[in-house]
Protein backbone atom coordinates (compact mmCIF):
# COMPACT_ATOMS: atom_id res chain seq x y z
CA UNK A 1 0.00 0.00 0.00
CA UNK A 2 1.20 3.48 -0.82
CA UNK A 3 0.14 6.42 1.30
CA UNK A 4 0.74 10.16 1.68
CA UNK A 5 0.69 12.63 4.54
CA UNK A 6 -0.08 16.33 4.86
CA UNK A 7 -0.68 16.96 8.52
CA UNK A 8 -1.47 14.71 11.45
CA UNK A 9 -4.98 13.27 11.51
CA UNK A 10 -6.99 13.33 8.28
CA UNK A 11 -5.05 13.07 5.04
CA UNK A 12 -5.38 16.06 2.74
CA UNK A 13 -5.71 14.03 -0.42
CA UNK A 14 -8.83 11.87 -0.71
CA UNK A 15 -6.98 9.40 -2.86
CA UNK A 16 -3.39 8.31 -3.14
CA UNK A 17 -1.31 6.71 -5.81
CA UNK A 18 -0.24 3.11 -5.91
CA UNK A 19 1.37 1.06 -8.62
CA UNK A 20 -1.95 -0.80 -8.99
CA UNK A 21 -4.02 2.36 -9.38
CA UNK A 22 -5.75 4.87 -7.14
CA UNK A 23 -6.89 3.82 -3.67
CA UNK A 24 -8.83 5.69 -1.00
CA UNK A 25 -6.60 7.18 1.66
CA UNK A 26 -6.96 6.13 5.26
CA UNK A 27 -8.75 8.71 7.36
CA UNK A 28 -5.92 8.63 9.88
CA UNK A 29 -2.59 6.82 10.20
CA UNK A 30 -2.42 4.13 12.81
CA UNK A 31 -0.94 5.69 15.97
CA UNK A 32 2.65 4.76 16.70
CA UNK A 33 2.99 3.00 20.04
CA UNK A 34 5.79 5.35 21.01
CA UNK A 35 4.16 8.52 19.74
CA UNK A 36 1.49 10.74 21.19
CA UNK A 37 -2.07 10.45 19.94
CA UNK A 38 -3.64 13.24 17.91
CA UNK A 39 -4.81 16.26 19.83
CA UNK A 40 -8.51 17.02 20.19
CA UNK A 41 -9.86 19.77 17.97
CA UNK A 42 -10.99 21.74 21.00
CA UNK A 43 -7.36 22.28 22.02
CA UNK A 44 -5.67 23.27 18.75
CA UNK A 45 -2.41 24.55 20.27
CA UNK A 46 -2.07 22.24 23.25
CA UNK A 47 0.70 19.67 23.16
CA UNK A 48 1.62 17.05 25.78
CA UNK A 49 4.97 17.38 27.55
CA UNK A 50 5.89 13.84 26.52
CA UNK A 51 6.18 15.00 22.89
CA UNK A 52 9.14 17.16 23.85
CA UNK A 53 12.39 15.29 24.34
CA UNK A 54 14.76 18.26 24.61
CA UNK A 55 14.83 20.88 27.33
CA UNK A 56 16.40 24.13 28.49
CA UNK A 57 17.19 24.51 32.18
CA UNK A 58 16.73 27.95 33.77
CA UNK A 59 19.55 28.39 36.30
CA UNK A 60 21.02 31.16 38.42
CA UNK A 61 21.48 32.33 41.99
CA UNK A 62 18.39 32.60 44.23
CA UNK A 63 16.21 35.69 43.76
CA UNK A 64 17.50 36.67 40.31
CA UNK A 65 14.08 36.24 38.68
CA UNK A 66 14.24 32.63 37.45
CA UNK A 67 10.81 31.60 38.70
CA UNK A 68 9.28 34.90 37.57
CA UNK A 69 10.67 34.20 34.10
CA UNK A 70 9.38 30.65 34.21
CA UNK A 71 5.93 31.82 35.30
CA UNK A 72 5.85 34.13 32.30
CA UNK A 73 7.01 31.34 29.98
CA UNK A 74 4.52 28.79 31.15
CA UNK A 75 1.00 28.64 32.50
CA UNK A 76 2.41 26.35 35.21
CA UNK A 77 3.05 28.72 38.12
CA UNK A 78 6.11 28.19 40.29
CA UNK A 79 6.38 29.61 43.79
CA UNK A 80 8.12 32.98 43.38
CA UNK A 81 8.48 33.71 47.09
CA UNK A 82 11.24 36.08 48.22
CA UNK A 83 13.57 33.62 49.89
CA UNK A 84 16.21 31.12 48.71
CA UNK A 85 15.29 27.55 47.73
CA UNK A 86 11.57 28.22 47.26
CA UNK A 87 11.78 26.08 44.10
CA UNK A 88 12.66 22.72 45.62
CA UNK A 89 11.63 20.49 42.72
CA UNK A 90 12.16 21.50 39.11
CA UNK A 91 9.08 22.95 37.42
CA UNK A 92 8.63 21.95 33.82
CA UNK A 93 6.72 23.87 31.17
CA UNK A 94 6.23 23.19 27.47
CA UNK A 95 6.20 26.45 25.52
CA UNK A 96 5.22 27.09 21.86
CA UNK A 97 8.07 28.50 19.77
CA UNK A 98 7.10 31.83 18.12
CA UNK A 99 7.61 31.29 14.39
CA UNK A 100 6.48 33.69 11.67
CA UNK A 101 6.77 30.88 9.09
CA UNK A 102 4.27 28.74 10.97
CA UNK A 103 1.93 31.71 11.39
CA UNK A 104 2.14 32.51 7.66
CA UNK A 105 1.25 28.92 6.72
CA UNK A 106 -1.70 28.98 9.11
CA UNK A 107 -2.98 32.23 7.59
CA UNK A 108 -2.66 30.79 4.09
CA UNK A 109 -4.17 27.35 4.68
CA UNK A 110 -6.59 28.07 7.54
CA UNK A 111 -6.39 24.55 8.93
CA UNK A 112 -8.80 23.03 11.42
CA UNK A 113 -5.93 22.47 13.84
CA UNK A 114 -2.58 24.18 14.51
CA UNK A 115 0.36 22.49 16.28
CA UNK A 116 3.45 24.71 16.63
CA UNK A 117 6.95 23.60 17.55
CA UNK A 118 7.62 23.61 21.28
CA UNK A 119 10.54 23.79 23.67
CA UNK A 120 10.60 22.53 27.23
CA UNK A 121 11.84 24.83 29.98
CA UNK A 122 12.82 23.55 33.42
CA UNK A 123 12.91 25.94 36.39
CA UNK A 124 15.80 24.77 38.58
CA UNK A 125 16.15 26.07 42.13
CA UNK A 126 18.80 28.70 42.82
CA UNK A 127 22.38 27.55 43.22
CA UNK A 128 24.67 29.10 45.82
CA UNK A 129 28.38 29.17 46.54
CA UNK A 130 29.35 25.68 47.72
CA UNK A 131 26.61 23.91 45.70
CA UNK A 132 29.21 21.47 44.33
CA UNK A 133 29.79 20.34 47.93
CA UNK A 134 26.06 20.03 48.61
CA UNK A 135 25.39 23.51 50.04
CA UNK A 136 21.79 24.69 49.60
CA UNK A 137 20.67 21.24 48.37
CA UNK A 138 23.30 21.72 45.67
CA UNK A 139 23.69 18.05 44.77
CA UNK A 140 20.00 17.69 43.92
CA UNK A 141 19.90 20.92 41.92
CA UNK A 142 23.06 20.07 39.98
CA UNK A 143 21.51 16.70 39.12
CA UNK A 144 18.54 18.55 37.63
CA UNK A 145 20.93 20.58 35.44
CA UNK A 146 22.60 17.39 34.27
CA UNK A 147 19.28 16.22 32.84
CA UNK A 148 18.67 19.22 30.56
CA UNK A 149 20.13 19.76 27.10
CA UNK A 150 20.94 23.48 27.29
CA UNK A 151 21.12 26.20 29.93
CA UNK A 152 19.50 29.64 30.20
CA UNK A 153 21.60 31.41 32.84
CA UNK A 154 19.48 34.17 34.42
CA UNK A 155 21.53 37.04 35.83
CA UNK A 156 20.26 39.79 38.11
CA UNK A 157 20.87 43.23 36.60
CA UNK A 158 18.43 45.21 38.74
CA UNK A 159 18.76 46.83 42.15
CA UNK A 160 15.85 46.37 44.57
CA UNK A 161 16.42 46.57 48.30
CA UNK A 162 13.16 44.69 48.89
CA UNK A 163 14.57 41.57 47.23
CA UNK A 164 17.53 40.10 49.07
CA UNK A 165 20.68 39.00 47.25
CA UNK A 166 22.47 35.96 48.67
CA UNK A 167 25.81 37.77 48.34
CA UNK A 168 24.39 41.12 49.64
CA UNK A 169 25.39 42.95 46.45
CA UNK A 170 24.37 43.24 42.79
CA UNK A 171 27.27 42.25 40.54
CA UNK A 172 26.14 40.18 37.54
CA UNK A 173 29.64 39.19 36.39
CA UNK A 174 30.53 37.95 39.89
CA UNK A 175 27.21 36.05 40.00
CA UNK A 176 28.06 34.37 36.70
CA UNK A 177 31.48 33.41 38.05
CA UNK A 178 29.88 31.86 41.16
CA UNK A 179 27.54 29.65 39.14
CA UNK A 180 30.16 28.65 36.58
CA UNK A 181 32.68 27.82 39.30
CA UNK A 182 30.21 25.50 40.99
CA UNK A 183 29.39 23.76 37.72
CA UNK A 184 33.11 23.35 36.93
CA UNK A 185 33.86 21.97 40.41
CA UNK A 186 31.11 19.39 40.05
CA UNK A 187 32.46 18.41 36.63
CA UNK A 188 35.95 18.15 38.11
CA UNK A 189 34.59 15.70 40.67
CA UNK A 190 32.80 13.69 37.94
CA UNK A 191 35.87 13.54 35.71
CA UNK A 192 38.10 12.62 38.66
CA UNK A 193 35.95 9.58 39.50
CA UNK A 194 35.89 8.44 35.87
CA UNK A 195 39.65 8.93 35.55
CA UNK A 196 40.27 6.76 38.59
CA UNK A 197 38.13 3.96 37.15
CA UNK A 198 39.77 4.28 33.73
CA UNK A 199 43.29 4.05 35.17
CA UNK A 200 42.43 0.84 36.99
CA UNK A 201 40.78 -0.68 33.91
CA UNK A 202 43.61 0.44 31.60
CA UNK A 203 46.03 -1.77 33.49
CA UNK A 204 44.32 -4.70 31.80
CA UNK A 205 45.27 -3.29 28.37
CA UNK A 206 41.70 -2.27 27.52
CA UNK A 207 42.16 0.13 24.55
CA UNK A 208 38.89 1.97 25.20
CA UNK A 209 39.81 2.63 28.82
CA UNK A 210 43.25 3.82 27.75
CA UNK A 211 41.50 6.40 25.59
CA UNK A 212 39.29 7.26 28.55
CA UNK A 213 42.41 7.96 30.63
CA UNK A 214 43.77 10.35 27.99
CA UNK A 215 40.41 12.14 27.53
CA UNK A 216 39.78 12.47 31.26
CA UNK A 217 43.28 13.78 31.87
CA UNK A 218 42.71 16.50 29.24
CA UNK A 219 39.34 17.34 30.73
CA UNK A 220 40.73 17.41 34.27
CA UNK A 221 43.50 19.81 33.27
CA UNK A 222 41.02 22.05 31.47
CA UNK A 223 38.52 22.16 34.32
CA UNK A 224 41.29 22.68 36.86
CA UNK A 225 42.25 25.84 34.95
CA UNK A 226 38.67 27.06 35.30
CA UNK A 227 37.82 26.42 31.65
CA UNK A 228 34.53 24.72 30.63
CA UNK A 229 34.44 21.23 29.18
CA UNK A 230 32.60 22.43 26.04
CA UNK A 231 35.90 23.59 24.52
CA UNK A 232 37.38 20.08 24.22
CA UNK A 233 37.48 18.51 20.74
CA UNK A 234 37.11 14.69 20.72
CA UNK A 235 39.53 13.08 18.26
CA UNK A 236 37.26 10.18 17.26
CA UNK A 237 33.95 8.43 18.01
CA UNK A 238 35.36 6.67 21.10
CA UNK A 239 36.44 9.96 22.63
CA UNK A 240 33.10 11.53 21.70
CA UNK A 241 31.32 8.66 23.46
CA UNK A 242 33.47 9.04 26.56
CA UNK A 243 32.74 12.78 26.80
CA UNK A 244 29.03 12.24 26.11
CA UNK A 245 28.67 9.59 28.81
CA UNK A 246 30.15 11.93 31.41
CA UNK A 247 27.16 14.34 30.98
CA UNK A 248 29.32 17.27 32.08
CA UNK A 249 27.51 20.40 33.17
CA UNK A 250 30.00 22.78 31.52
CA UNK A 251 29.73 20.96 28.18
CA UNK A 252 26.13 22.10 27.66
CA UNK A 253 25.32 24.98 25.29
CA UNK A 254 24.13 28.06 27.18
CA UNK A 255 23.05 31.69 26.91
CA UNK A 256 22.63 34.56 29.36
CA UNK A 257 19.33 36.19 30.30
CA UNK A 258 19.95 39.62 31.83
CA UNK A 259 16.95 40.41 34.03
CA UNK A 260 16.34 44.14 34.47
CA UNK A 261 13.78 46.38 36.17
CA UNK A 262 11.12 48.04 34.04
CA UNK A 263 12.70 51.46 34.64
CA UNK A 264 15.93 50.24 32.98
CA UNK A 265 14.28 49.34 29.65
CA UNK A 266 14.64 52.88 28.32
CA UNK A 267 18.41 53.00 28.96
CA UNK A 268 19.59 49.47 28.15
CA UNK A 269 22.33 50.66 25.79
CA UNK A 270 24.07 52.58 28.56
CA UNK A 271 23.13 50.53 31.60
CA UNK A 272 26.44 49.44 33.23
CA UNK A 273 25.07 46.16 34.64
CA UNK A 274 23.59 45.11 31.30
CA UNK A 275 26.70 46.19 29.42
CA UNK A 276 28.88 44.06 31.70
CA UNK A 277 26.86 40.94 30.88
CA UNK A 278 26.75 41.75 27.17
CA UNK A 279 30.52 42.24 27.08
CA UNK A 280 31.11 38.88 28.77
CA UNK A 281 28.67 37.17 26.38
CA UNK A 282 30.43 38.71 23.38
CA UNK A 283 33.81 37.60 24.71
CA UNK A 284 32.54 34.03 25.02
CA UNK A 285 30.58 34.05 21.78
CA UNK A 286 27.21 33.25 23.33
CA UNK A 287 23.82 35.01 23.06
CA UNK A 288 22.59 37.46 25.69
CA UNK A 289 18.87 38.24 25.96
CA UNK A 290 17.77 41.25 28.02
CA UNK A 291 14.29 41.15 29.54
CA UNK A 292 12.26 42.49 32.43
CA UNK A 293 10.88 39.23 33.83
CA UNK A 294 8.37 41.02 36.08
CA UNK A 295 6.95 42.93 33.09
CA UNK A 296 6.90 39.77 30.97
CA UNK A 297 4.92 37.96 33.66
CA UNK A 298 2.44 40.83 33.68
CA UNK A 299 2.10 40.71 29.88
CA UNK A 300 1.58 36.94 29.96
CA UNK A 301 -1.35 37.36 32.36
CA UNK A 302 -3.15 39.80 30.03
CA UNK A 303 -5.89 38.67 27.62
CA UNK A 304 -4.40 38.20 24.14
CA UNK A 305 -6.42 41.13 22.76
CA UNK A 306 -4.81 43.57 25.22
CA UNK A 307 -1.19 42.54 24.83
CA UNK A 308 -0.40 44.54 21.67
CA UNK A 309 -1.55 47.78 23.29
CA UNK A 310 0.42 47.02 26.46
CA UNK A 311 3.58 46.26 24.46
CA UNK A 312 3.23 49.49 22.48
CA UNK A 313 2.85 51.48 25.70
CA UNK A 314 6.00 49.83 27.06
CA UNK A 315 7.92 50.55 23.83
CA UNK A 316 8.32 46.86 22.92
CA UNK A 317 7.77 45.28 19.48
CA UNK A 318 7.11 41.83 20.94
CA UNK A 319 7.35 40.16 24.33
CA UNK A 320 10.96 39.58 25.38
CA UNK A 321 9.91 36.02 26.11
CA UNK A 322 9.78 35.34 22.38
CA UNK A 323 13.50 36.00 22.12
CA UNK A 324 14.18 33.81 25.16
CA UNK A 325 12.18 30.95 23.60
CA UNK A 326 13.77 31.29 20.16
CA UNK A 327 17.26 31.49 21.65
CA UNK A 328 16.65 28.42 23.82
CA UNK A 329 15.35 26.53 20.80
CA UNK A 330 18.41 27.56 18.76
CA UNK A 331 20.72 26.31 21.54
CA UNK A 332 19.36 22.80 21.01
CA UNK A 333 20.62 22.74 17.38
CA UNK A 334 17.21 21.88 15.97
CA UNK A 335 15.49 22.59 12.68
CA UNK A 336 11.77 22.80 11.98
CA UNK A 337 9.94 21.32 9.01
CA UNK A 338 6.23 21.59 8.38
CA UNK A 339 3.36 19.41 7.22
CA UNK A 340 0.53 21.54 5.92
CA UNK A 341 -3.01 20.73 4.87
CA UNK A 342 -6.57 21.72 5.69
CA UNK A 343 -6.85 19.21 8.53
CA UNK A 344 -3.71 20.51 10.24
CA UNK A 345 -0.60 22.64 9.97
CA UNK A 346 2.10 21.20 12.20
CA UNK A 347 5.69 22.12 12.96
CA UNK A 348 7.98 19.13 13.50
CA UNK A 349 11.30 19.33 15.30
CA UNK A 350 14.37 17.30 14.30
CA UNK A 351 18.10 17.53 14.88
CA UNK A 352 20.07 19.50 12.32
CA UNK A 353 21.41 17.07 9.70
CA UNK A 354 18.41 14.70 9.86
CA UNK A 355 17.67 12.92 6.57
CA UNK A 356 14.22 12.62 5.02
CA UNK A 357 13.36 9.03 6.12
CA UNK A 358 14.20 9.81 9.75
CA UNK A 359 12.17 13.02 9.58
CA UNK A 360 9.27 10.98 8.20
CA UNK A 361 9.67 8.60 11.13
CA UNK A 362 9.11 11.52 13.47
CA UNK A 363 5.52 11.51 12.21
CA UNK A 364 4.97 7.75 12.17
CA UNK A 365 7.27 4.74 12.23
CA UNK A 366 5.58 3.37 9.07
CA UNK A 367 6.64 6.49 7.20
CA UNK A 368 10.31 5.77 7.84
CA UNK A 369 10.04 2.04 7.30
CA UNK A 370 8.27 2.38 3.93
CA UNK A 371 9.76 5.69 2.80
CA UNK A 372 9.59 6.23 -0.99
CA UNK A 373 10.24 9.93 -1.49
CA UNK A 374 9.67 13.38 -0.07
CA UNK A 375 7.93 16.14 -2.01
CA UNK A 376 9.57 19.30 -0.71
CA UNK A 377 8.67 22.99 -0.94
CA UNK A 378 10.24 25.87 0.92
CA UNK A 379 7.75 27.62 3.20
CA UNK A 380 8.35 31.04 1.63
CA UNK A 381 7.65 29.75 -1.89
CA UNK A 382 4.36 28.24 -0.74
CA UNK A 383 3.28 31.43 1.04
CA UNK A 384 4.31 33.76 -1.80
CA UNK A 385 2.83 31.63 -4.62
CA UNK A 386 -0.28 30.73 -2.64
CA UNK A 387 -0.74 27.01 -3.32
CA UNK A 388 1.08 23.76 -3.91
CA UNK A 389 -0.13 23.74 -7.51
CA UNK A 390 1.45 27.14 -8.10
CA UNK A 391 4.71 26.01 -6.48
CA UNK A 392 4.74 22.92 -8.70
CA UNK A 393 3.99 24.98 -11.82
CA UNK A 394 6.87 27.33 -10.97
CA UNK A 395 9.24 24.35 -10.78
CA UNK A 396 9.94 24.92 -7.09
CA UNK A 397 8.64 21.59 -5.77
CA UNK A 398 11.47 19.05 -5.50
CA UNK A 399 11.26 15.26 -5.32
CA UNK A 400 13.88 14.09 -2.84
CA UNK A 401 15.13 10.63 -1.88
CA UNK A 402 16.58 8.93 1.18
CA UNK A 403 19.75 11.02 1.27
CA UNK A 404 17.98 14.36 1.41
CA UNK A 405 18.90 16.42 4.49
CA UNK A 406 15.89 18.31 5.81
CA UNK A 407 16.25 22.11 5.73
CA UNK A 408 14.92 24.47 8.33
CA UNK A 409 11.64 25.74 6.86
CA UNK A 410 10.85 22.87 4.50
CA UNK A 411 7.20 21.97 3.87
CA UNK A 412 7.23 18.23 3.19
CA UNK A 413 4.76 15.73 1.77
CA UNK A 414 6.03 12.20 2.44
CA UNK A 415 5.14 9.22 0.29
CA UNK A 416 5.61 5.73 1.65
CA UNK A 417 4.57 2.12 1.08
CA UNK A 418 3.90 -0.57 3.69
Span 322-375, pLDDT tens digits? 889 899 888 888 999 999 999 999 999 999 999 999 999 999 999 999 999 999
The secondary element (H helix, E strand) that includes residue 55 is strand 55-59
Cα angle value 17/20/24 (rounded, 5°): 45
pTM for the complete prediction?
0.77
How far, in whole angstroms, is CA 17 from its chain's centroid? 37
Going along 286-366, which residue ranges are E strands?
288-291, 334-340, 344-351
User: What pLDDT, on the 0 to 100 scale, is given for residue 135?
Assistant: 56
Q: Is the CB of residue 179 less than 8 Å from the CB of residue 256?
A: no
Mean pLDDT of 89-118: 89
Mean pLDDT of 266-281: 94
Which residue in 261, 271, 220, 265 sits closest to 242, CA to CA? Answer: 220
Question: Which of 12-26, 41-55, 157-171, 196-210 is the most confident on average?
Answer: 196-210
Mean pLDDT of 18-42: 33
* Beta carbons within 10 angstroms of residue 204's beta carbon: 8
Flag whether pLDDT at 380 surpasses 90.
Answer: yes
User: What pLDDT, on the 0 to 100 scale, is given for residue 144?
Assistant: 80
User: What pLDDT, on the 0 to 100 scale, is given for residue 127?
Assistant: 64
For 247, left (φ over 0), alpha (ψ -120 to 50), or beta?
left
Task: Choose the weakest-confidence range: 143-147, 264-268, 274-278, 393-397.
Answer: 143-147
Q: Is the CB of residue 377 less than 8 Å from the CB of residue 399?
A: no
- In three-state secondary structure terms, 195 is helix
Are β-strands 113-115 and 344-351 bridged in parallel, bridged antiparallel, or unpaired? Answer: parallel
For 315, left (φ over 0), alpha (ψ -120 to 50), or beta?
left
DSSP-derived secondary structure letter, 333:
T
CA distance 7 to 4: 10
CA distance 171 to 165: 10
Enumerate the H helices of 110-257 as residue ranges: 138-146, 172-202, 207-224, 237-246
Flag whether pLDDT at 141 surpasses 50.
Answer: yes
Tens digits of residue pLDDT in 166-209: 777 889 999 999 989 888 988 999 999 999 999 998 887 788 99
Q: For all residues of the chain together, what is the average pLDDT?
A: 81
Flag whether pLDDT at 147 surpasses 50.
Answer: yes
Local confidence band at 27 (pLDDT 50, 70, 90 cut-offs): very low
CA distance 247 to 190: 9
Buried-exposed string 334-354: b where 16+ CB fall within 10 A, e elsewhere: bbbbbbbbebbbbbbbbeeeb
CA distance 220 to 159: 38
CA distance 409 to 379: 6
User: What pLDDT, on the 0 to 100 scale, is given for residue 252?
Assistant: 92
Buried-exposed string 130-164: b where 16+ CB fall within 10 A, e elsewhere: ebbeeebbbeebbebbbebbbbbbbbbbbeeeeee
Task: Choose the weakest-confidence range: 25-34, 191-200, 250-259, 276-285.
Answer: 25-34
Amino acid sequence: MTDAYRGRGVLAKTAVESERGTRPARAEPRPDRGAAASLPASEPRAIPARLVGLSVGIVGLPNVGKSTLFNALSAQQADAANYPFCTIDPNVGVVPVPDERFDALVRLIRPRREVPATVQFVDIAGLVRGASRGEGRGNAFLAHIREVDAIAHVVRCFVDERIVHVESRVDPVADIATIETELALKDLETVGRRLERARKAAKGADPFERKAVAVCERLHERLDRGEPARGIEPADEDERRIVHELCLLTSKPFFYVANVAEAQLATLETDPLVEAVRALAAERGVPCVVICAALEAEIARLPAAERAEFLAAAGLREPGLHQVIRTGYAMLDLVTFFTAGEPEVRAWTVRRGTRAPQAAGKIHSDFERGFIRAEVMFWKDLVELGSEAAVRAAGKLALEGKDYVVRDGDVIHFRFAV
